[in-house]
Each structure stands twice: as C-alpha cells, then as structure tokens.
Amino acid sequence: MKYDNILTTCPYCGCGCKYYIQVINGVAKGVMPCKEDPVSEGKLCIKGWNVVDFVYSEGRLTKPLIKENGKFREASWDEAYNLIVSKFKKIKEQHGPQAFGLLSSAKTTNEENYLMQKFARSIIVTNNVDHCARLCHASTVAGLAAAFGSGAMTNSIPEFEDADCFLITGSNTTEQHPLIGSRILRAKERGAKIILVDPRLIQLAKFADIHLRQKPGTDVAWLNGLMYVIIKDGLVDEEFVKNRTENYEKLKKEVMNYPPEKVEEITGVPKEDIISAAHIFGNAKTASIIYSMGITQHTTGVDNVKSCANLAMITGNMGKACTGVNPLRGQNNVQGACDLGALPNVFPGYQAVANGEFREKFEKAWKMDDKIPENVGLTVVEMTNEAHAGNIKCLYIMGENPMVSDPDINHVKESLESLDFLVVQDIFLTETAELADVVLPGTSFLEKDGTFTGTDRRVQRVRKAIEPLGESKPDWLIISELASRMGSSAFEYNSPKEIQDEIASLTPLYGGISYERLDDLGYLQWPCLDKDHKGTVFLHKGKFTRGLGCFFPITYKPPAELPDKEYPFTLTTGRILFHFHTGTMTRCVPKLDKEVPTGYVEIHPVDADRLGIKDGEIIKVSTRRGTINIPAYITRKVPEKIVFIPFHFKECAANILTNPALDPIAKIPELKVCACKVESIGE
Amino acid sequence: MEPELRDYVGELLDSGTVAGVLALKDELGAVKPYLFTKNNEIGDLVLTSKYPLASVMSMLQKEDPSIKLAIVCRGCDERALIELAKRNQINLDNIVFVGIPCDEEMADKCNCLQPYPKEIVTGEKLSNWVPKNNYEDFKNMSTEEKLIFWKGQLEKCNKCYGCRNACPLCFCSDCELENALWVKHGRLPPEFPIYHVIRAFHLAGKCVGCGECENACPVGIPLMTLNHLLREDIKDLFGYMTGQDIEDENPINTKEEY
Ligand code: SF4
Ligand code: SF4
Ligand code: SF4
C-alpha cells in the first residue's frame, strides 16, 4: 500500500491556503490541512475541506469532443487538434489575426496563463487576450497602478493579525475569503477596531465597531466624506503627505465638497456615523483598507479604487506593516493570470505592449517572424460585443464560463452563437462549452504541476497528486501541443518547471522565482527580482513604485441605472461561502450542494409583506435585460428596497439581470447595482 | 529520541513484522502523515508536529482490512485508536503500537490530561503531570455570563465542519450536523447553539482530548473548554476516562439488544 500527502494550493479563493491531498494507491481520498502553512495554519473553509469531490465528479470531461450537426461526439486528440489547426489557419487567412479572441483563466496555473498569452501574441499575433479579472478587479489594477504604480494588494495576509483598525467595504470577508476573515476576527479579539461599510448585514456586522450601510453605488461619496472629516479634524498625516505624495491640494479642494450632511443625503448613512468612522480610522496607529468586488464592479470602479488609495495616503497608512490598500482577489489565480500577461495591454510582469522595447524582447524570445501589434487588444466584454457585431470570428476559451459569469447572458449567448468557430478547453461541459465547436478536456489542479499566485502576491506550488482522468491533459500541454502543430518551435516544454524558468527570464517581477526556491521556502511574494531576493511582504516601503503616490480628486457619479417607477428595487449580486463563482466545481460537491442547492433572492420582510411574498416562494425578478424565477429568502440581511442574488446558479442566473454598462477606463461591468422589479407569481 | 525510534521502526519493516509504519515525515519544510514502507525512507521520519494519525489508520484499514501496520503514536493517538476499536472502526489486532511520550512543551500546548501512551519505546513519560489550565475562569462565570460568552464565540463560526473533519472520533458517515432537522442548511453562522451543542454531546464519552478540533477551527472558538468540561462530567458521573483500556465499558455506548 502507498499512502502519501501531496502539498498543493487551493483552487478556490485568493487566500491561497496550502494543504495536503491524501492519496492512497494513486487515488485522492481527501484533504489534510497543513499546520505549517503560513496562510491557513492548518485551518480551512468548507470548500477547501471538500475539494477532492469535484475532481472525481461524474461530469468531468475525459475525451475531446467535436460538434457535428449540433451534437457532440467523442474524438481523438489528433482529430481535434487537426480540426482546430485547419480552422485557425483558415480564419486567420480570411479575416486576419484581429478576428480572434482568446480567454485565459484565473483558475489555471501561472504557466498556463503565460502560454495562453504567448499563444495569442506569437501564434495568432493578436493582443486580444483577456480573462475574467476584467469582471472582478480590472478597476483595481487600473486604479492602484495610477495612484501607486502597482495594481496589486499592498500588504500581506498574516499582517492582518496585527492591524489596529480595518476598513472593510464591499468584501463579505468571512464568506468569500474565510481564512482572511478569521484573522480579522482574531484581531478584533485583540482589540482592533472594525469599520464595516456594506449595505448588507453580513456576518462581520456583528463584530464591527461601526457599520455604515450605504446605498449601493455611492462609495465615492462616503469615502470623500471620511476624508472631509479627517482633513477638517486635523487627522491628516502631514509628514507622509508632504514627503511621499503629490496632488494633495487638488484632492483637498474636491473632498471639501463632501460635508457629512451632504454625504448622508447621497449615501443614506447618518452623518454622525460618517464622523465617528472617520475618527476611528484617522486615529488608528495602523489601519488597513480591505475591499473586494463591492468597490470594483461599478461604472465608477476605478474612481472607487482611487478613493480608497486617497484615504490610505492622507492618513499615512501606506508602505508599512498592517496598513495599505488591500483588494482581495476572488479566484485562486486571478492575481497570477494578470501578472502573467493574460491582459490585452500588457506582457507578463505588466510590461506594456505599447512599448517597442518590450515587444522586441518578446518577439525575440518567442522566436517570432511576425511583429506583435502595438495596439492594445480587446477586453472580455468588448470581445463579446465584437463577436456580436461580426468582427470577432473565432474564440479560444480556456477554463472560463462567460455564459454564467458575464453580465447580460442573453447577449453573451447570441455573441457566441454568431462565431465561425469556438474552442473551449475546460474540465466540465460548462454552459459555454455547450456552445463550442470543439471541446478540449483539461485537467484539474490535482492532476498537474504549476504555480498559483494568491491575493497577496504569494507565488506557491501546485503539485500533481494523481494522474489525469481519462484522456484529459493538463492545459499547459494542450496549448503547447496546439502551438507546435500551428508550426511553432517555441513551445517545446518537458514540464511546467521549464515554463516557469522562461517566465523568470522575461519577467522582472518574477525574476527570482523557481521551483527549487519554492520547494525550499514554501512561497515567494513578488516583486522577487533575482535568485537572492527574498520577495516582498508589503509594497511601497520608503517609495512608491511610481515614485510619489498620486492623489486623484474624484467627483461622485451615480450608478448607470437607478431605481425608477417601473424598476423600483436595487439589485446587487455576489458570492456565498458555500459556492464558488459559476458553480461548475462546487455544485458537484455533495456537501456543498446540500448546504445550498440552488439560488435565492434576499428580500427584506417589509418589502416581502407589501408584495405578498412568502419565504421560499418562487418569485419573478426582472430588469431591462431579462427575467428570472427564483426562490425568495426573506431576511433582514438586506435593507428595504434592495435585493441580493448570489450569482453561482445557472438556473436562476443573476447575470441575466445585471447591467453590462462599463467603467470607462477599466471596462469592468456594473455587476453590483442595477434597477429591478420584484413580483409574486403566486407559486 | 528520533534516532532510536528510527532504528526501532526500521527493524519492524526489515523483519516483515509490518507492511508499513504510519508516522510523520519531514518534507518541503513541513511535516505530514506518511506511510513508510521502506527502511531507506526512515531518515525523514520525525516526531515534531502532530496530526490525527488514528483517523488515517482507520482509513488505511478500510482500504485493506488485512494489512498489518505500525503506528508511531502519542497518548492521544493511542486513546483514539482504543475508542475507535470499541466502536468497531478499527482492528487493533492488525496494529503495532510504537508509543512515544510528549514533552512538556507539547503537553502544555494541548493542556493534555495524559501526555503519553501506555507503553513507550523511547524517551521518558512526564512524571506527576497535571495540566495547568483547569478552566476555573470559565467555571466561575454566572450562567448569564456563560451564555454571553458562548454566543460571542459561536457567532464567529465559519461552518467549515473542520472541528468534525479533524476529529479522530467523528467517524459517522451520516453526520447529524448536516441534518436539516437540527441545523438549517446554508446559514452562516450556523444556528446558535444547536450546531456546536450537537457536536459536543456526540463526543461525550468519546473525546480523547487530542485538541485537533480546536486546532482546526479557523476562528479560534475554544472548543476544548467544552470538551474538557464534558470529559470531567463523564468522569464524575460514570467514573469513565476515554481511551484507557479496550475492556473498559463505555457508559454511553448502549449494548442492549433490541
Ligand atoms: S477556498 Fe480560500 S479559504 Fe477556503 S480553503 Fe481554499 S484558499 Fe482557503
Ligand atoms: S472532540 Fe476534539 S479533542 Fe476530542 S477527540 Fe475530537 S478532535 Fe480530539
Ligand atoms: S472548526 Fe470552528 S468554524 Fe469550523 S465548524 Fe467547527 S466551530 Fe465552526
């Protein structure tokens, strides 16, 4: 008998818990927490504990599929590759490389993301490569890069333990990032103060010193309001502002338009609470801002992020331990997918495609004859729009499910159906894969080697615990084989380790990262410039990446769609503890499915009463985009006039309802606010 | 302690007494449970850290009921194996116990009642050991204060089921914590206080005080306080201590035919 424990990194949230997979005779049997792991410390959330179940779930794809006469049939790898190669070549010939779009994946490894963008840029020769970070933290990347010079979480998870004050907004931390939530609770017991800004009564509300329940989409207003009080009451860190930042006077001028009375009018938060929150934050020795999609998924996403950066800088809460602006990344490797250049405007390590030197460097390394276009490529939502308009003819999608994750699904469906050729590479036949011409079976994280980068820039190993199921292949191998068949000689890798070495040689941020070092040290946090560099626990120490931190004066703008007579409710969406993203993984785990088998809409008892809705009753929720039928969950968690729907469930998909209106800079859709109508249908 | 122990278990393997030795292995800067099957791997066998090895043993026996294995075990591992055997979850005949005592630091950390197994092959048992924490602070609280205390603690619960998953004595395949009759599904935190009370009471007369539940709790709920008090009650009421001898009858296990 062989019994072993393989140390690997969780494929769900961005906390990046490492744990063991218990393997008996080649079969994964369960999870064993790793007590020495600095993130999880031997503790996990319910998703982590049950991770093995999705890997063996019945729905796993084990053979390539080709669609014929509207139906899938199994095919050999050769056949599938040949078909893809001939179609890709033909479409490229007829319509040129810009008729392609490639979606990489925040679920796959760094190495695979690197290869996907390499495939886009060197084989297809387009910058039309993006991934779902567009839908969660594109505004973070844009906003923080503008303010600080780097778009990543500034500080690290273990530091939360020792912060004196937290401002948590738009993050239901104990549900979405349980192992960060637990640290906040521990800090609270030690005496740390918690300021929670969230419309809903989430679990953290019970532990918050003060809870501001703002109207969705009014974040710039309350953030400016806090800064108004901080400036007015002399709580600005003058020294920090003078030495480390620029543009303060302009910020001050703007912020002074937001006295608490006015902020109360816009946000619905009592002015006394704005003042107390500002005092708690301004007086704290170390204060850490934690946010997530409640801040980013707005047409003013970049504005919201910049406002958070403003608040951190005027109070000097930057560049030291236990402070900072800390966006929590939702997916296990959304940070890595961004870092490795699965974005239309940058190469790995955020090296701009507009820069000729970088283009030349990569053209040379990738042995290219063609020239990489200097124009920025299309983003996720733009790709679907362009497909709809007939300009994008072919999409190659790896491990993403826009048919559930993207706003306005009906529109996404039409777009995908109008393509000439759609290739989907996934472990399940997702709603998106159903529409594909060819489906390639990738493997889960248990069946491959690689690295993930957690939310705090923590690069960690994913280690193969079991052999690929059926004929499935790791995604890195699929992309490499496809590239080779497209005629490239720059994709010959024996293992992901060689890909990581190539990444290190071309990406200064990852320059010192290698499998040997990760085995020795357990993790490395970027920037990690060379083999002697220990990695970086928190960013912007002594100096911002861009030199001086830059204040941006921000004017409040209301959300794109406000409630009106016809659509009198505000709809907000999000995730819950027991499921993950589009549910493809978690919904086939019996223990998670048992907890929450389907979606629901949270509605306040007063509203329910007025509309004659009973708990558990199926009701109708509609917006200008569409209608869904969904069970009602009557709860005081939501305020009156606001309803909440978790987006994991395709049978009552929140994203049929959501508004695809985009942030002008980051192109992130406004998934967090739209106007809706709620009706009883007497069922 | 380690070199002697390595020799000892190496001998068990070489002589063919057992097909494998379940113990802890040092790898990648961490320590993990591992089944040693070859003498040349034994160099990585370590005694630091602590994992619920009794659960692993039970899993291995289920995989191959006839396999004979050794286990390098602490006091709590041994007690867990004995309680599991009383409930037909494990076959002691196929297990060779390789007992090791815990040092003072470890015993303190666990506030352990009995930081050694019955027989040890190396090291020394702590003599006259009495755990420091007697939970007096908690006992001195009024009922009202206790209620407030537990409410505050249990509201932190993340419903990870980690306390159950990590517990060597939680082996039921149909767990009552997942029964919607008692605990509503999908709510966070789980309803007060039923979720935690069910688990505590189901462990009365079973809990061996290994501390794995509290170690696994991401939000630091002092689960060992509950366990300790229940263990005291079981001792006071029935004179029963868990995991002492396979022949001791468990007062809460009914053996009535019906
Ligand atoms: S989902 Fe997140 S918190 Fe839960 S185990 Fe995985 S990484 Fe840890
Ligand atoms: S209840 Fe806790 S201390 Fe008791 S046996 Fe289970 S894990 Fe060990
Ligand atoms: S381990 Fe802690 S958080 Fe998890 S279910 Fe048990 S008490 Fe709750």
Amino acid at the residue A625: R
What is the structure's pLDDT at A607? Answer: 96
pLDDT at position A204 is 96
Beta carbon of B189 within 6 Å of any ligand 3 atom: no
> Can you say whether the dihedral through the CA atoms of B75, B78, B82, B88 is positive or negative?
positive
Residue B59 CA to ligand 3 center (angstroms) comes to 23
Residue A683 reports pLDDT greater than 70:
no
Whether chain B has a CB inside 8 Å of the CB on A596: the answer is yes
Q: By percentage, how much of chain A surpasses pLDDT 70?
A: 100
CA of A41 to the centre of ligand 3 (A): 14
Query: Which residues on chain B are in Cβ contact (under 8 Å) with A175?
Result: 188
Q: What is the pLDDT of residue A584?
A: 76
When mean pLDDT is compared across A30-44, A329-343, A645-659, B86-100, the lowest value belongs to A645-659
A636 in Cβ contact with A202 (< 8 Å): no
Closest Cα to atom 7 of ligand 2: B167
Whole-number Å distance, alpha carbon A159 to ligand 2 midpoint, is: 30
Is A29 in Cβ contact with B218 (below 8 Å)? no
Across B196-205, average pLDDT: 92
Picking from A178, A576, A591, the nearest residue to B218 by CB comes out as A178
CB–CB contact A3 B34 (8 Å) = yes
Average pLDDT, chain B: 93
Of the bound ligands, which one is closest to the alpha carbon of residue B217? Answer: 3
Q: Is the peptide bond before A527 cis (omega within 30 degrees of 0)?
A: yes
Q: pLDDT tens digits, residue range A612-624? A: 999 999 999 999 9
Cβ atoms of residues A587 and A404 within 8 Å: no
Whether the predicted pLDDT of A108 surpasses 80: yes
Beta-strand (E) ranges in A406-455? 421-426, 438-441, 450-453
Q: What is the pLDDT of residues A515-536, one digit of tens each?
A: 999 999 999 999 999 999 999 9
Q: Tell me: pLDDT of A350 over 70.
A: yes
Is A269 an interface residue toward B (CB < 8 Å)?
A: no
> Has residue A438 got a pLDDT over 90?
yes
CB contact under 8 A, B215 and A35: yes
Ligand nearest to the CA of B226: 2
Nearest CA-CA distance, residue B158 and chain A, Å: 7
Average pLDDT over all residues of chain A:
94
**A485 SS3 class:** helix
Question: Per residue in B117-165, pLDDT tens?
Answer: 999 999 999 988 998 888 999 999 999 999 999 999 999 999 999 999 9
A356-370, A601-615, A655-669: segment of lowest average pLDDT: A655-669
CA distances from A559 to A225, A300, A302 (A): 18, 7, 13
Distances from the Cα of A199 to the Cα of A294, A637, A643, angstroms: 10, 9, 10
Distances (CA, A) of B251 to A501, A662, B176, B204, B232: 62, 66, 21, 10, 14
For residue A331, the one-letter residue type is Q
Instruction: Name which of A25, A519, A596 is nearest B186 (Cβ-Cβ).
Output: A596
Sheet with A71-74, side-by-side order of all strands: A71-74, A65-68, A438-441, A421-426, A394-398, A100-103, A129-130
Q: How far is A428 from chain B (nearest CA, A)?
A: 25
Ligand 2 centroid to B203 CA: how many Å? Answer: 8
How far is the C-alpha of A116 from the C-alpha of A184, rounded, in Å? 36
Nearest CA to ligand 2 atom 8: B210
User: Each residue of A490-499: pLDDT tens digit?
Assistant: 999 999 999 9
CB A655 within 8 A of CB A407: yes
Through-space distance between the first and last CA atoms of chain B, rounded to whole angstroms: 50
Q: Which residues contact B111 (CB under 8 A, 6 or more apart)?
A: B131, B132, B133, B211, B224, B228
pLDDT at A135: 82
B240 with B86: CB under 8 angstroms?
A: no
Is some CB atom of chain A closer than 8 A to the CB atom of B175?
A: no
Q: Starting from the edge strand earliest in sequence, which strands make up the sheet with A325-327, in order?
A: A210-212, A193-197, A165-169, A287-291, A325-327
Least confident of A54-63, A82-91, A440-449: A54-63
Which candidate from A1, A174, A578 shows the least CB-CB separation from B60?
Answer: A1
Query: Which chain B residue's Cα is nearest to A187?
Result: B219
| CA gap A308, A312 in Å, rounded | 6
Range with lowest mean pLDDT among A132-136, A395-399, A479-483:
A132-136
* Residue A519, H or E segment: helix A515-521
Question: What pLDDT score does A406 carry?
Answer: 73
SS3 A644: strand
**Strand (E) positions, A39-192?**
65-68, 71-74, 100-103, 129-130, 165-169
Q: What is the pTM of this model?
A: 0.94
pLDDT confidence of residue A79: 97
Please judge whether B218 and A594 are an interchain contact, meaning their C-beta atoms are less than 8 angstroms apart.
Answer: no
Q: Are A260 and A212 in contact (CB under 8 A)?
A: no
Token pair for residue A403? 């048919």
List the one residue out of A124, A130, A112, A129 whose CA is nearest residue A493. Answer: A112
Query: What does the pLDDT average to over B65-84?
Result: 96
Confidence at A137, pLDDT banded by 50, 70, 90: confident
**For residue B247, what pLDDT is reported?**
86
Q: Angle A524-A526-A529 (CA atoms, 0-180°, nearest 5)?
A: 95
CA of B218 to the centre of ligand 3 (A): 7
- State whether A46 and B33 contact (CB < 8 Å): no
Q: In this model, does residue B256 exceed pLDDT 90?
A: no
Mention every residue, 6+ apart, whose C-beta is less than 8 A from residue A477.
none
Span A368-427, pLDDT tens digits = 999 999 999 999 989 999 999 999 999 999 998 887 777 788 888 999 999 999 999 999
pLDDT digits (tens, 9 = 90+) for A176-201: 999 999 999 999 999 999 999 999 99
> Which whole number is the average pLDDT over A211-236?
97
- Phi (first) and psi of residue A511, to 5 degrees: -55, -35
Burial B61-84 (b: 16+ CB within 10 A, else e): beeeeeebbbbbbbbbbbbbbbbb
- Substitution candidate for ligand 2 out of B160, B163, B207 with most atoms within 8 A of CB: B207
For residue A37, give the ligand nearest its CA: 1
Contact A10, A332 (CB under 8 A): yes
Bridge partner list, A421:
A394
Residue A500: pLDDT band with limits 50, 70, 90: very high
- Count of positions (residues) in chain B: 258
**Residue B241 near chain A (CB below 8 Å):** no
Is pLDDT above 90 for A5? yes
Among B233, B234, B223, residue whose Cα is nearest residue B195: B223
Q: Using the atom order of ligand 3, give the atom closest to the CA of residue B213.
A: 1
Q: Given an 8 Å threshold on Cβ–Cβ distance, is A577 in contact with B34?
A: no
Contact indicator for A646, A293 with CB cutoff of 8 Å = no
Chain B neighbours among A 52-111 (CB < 8 Å)? none
Ligand 3 mean position, distance from CA B150 (Å): 13
Q: Distances in Å between the alpha carbon of A172 and those of A175, A303, B139? A: 6, 21, 35
Is residue A132 predicted with pLDDT exceeding 90?
no
3-state helix, strand, coil in chain A (%, to 5): 35, 20, 45
**Mean pLDDT, residues A325-339:** 93
Does residue B25 register a pLDDT over 80? Answer: yes
**Is A522 within 8 Å of B165 when comparing Cβ atoms?**
no
pLDDT at B254: 62
- The answer to whether the CB of B103 falls within 8 A of the CB of B52 is no
Compute how many other C-beta atoms are within 10 angstroms of the C-beta atom of residue A252: 17
Domains and CATH numbers, chain A: 3-56 (2.20.25.90), 65-129+332-522 (3.40.50.740), 138-328 (3.40.228.10), 569-680 (2.40.40.20)
Q: Is the CB of B216 under 6 A from ligand 3?
A: yes
Burial class (CB in 10 A: 0-12, 13-18, 19+), A90: middle
A43 touches chain B (CB under 8 A): yes
Q: Which residues of A touch B19 (CB under 8 A)?
A: 1
Which ipTM score applies to this complex?
0.95
Rounded to whole angstroms, how far apart are CA atoms B133 and B116? 18
Residue whose CA is at the smallest distance from ligand 1 atom 8: A17
Would you list the DSSP string of A143-157?
A: HHHHHHS--S--S-G
The answer on pLDDT for B257 being more than 60 is no
Contacts of A75 (CB under 8 A, 6+ apart): A63, A64, A65, A66, A83, A438
Closest ligand (CA of A17): 1
pLDDT at position A458 is: 96
Burial of B27 (0-12, 13-18, 19+ CB in 10 A): middle
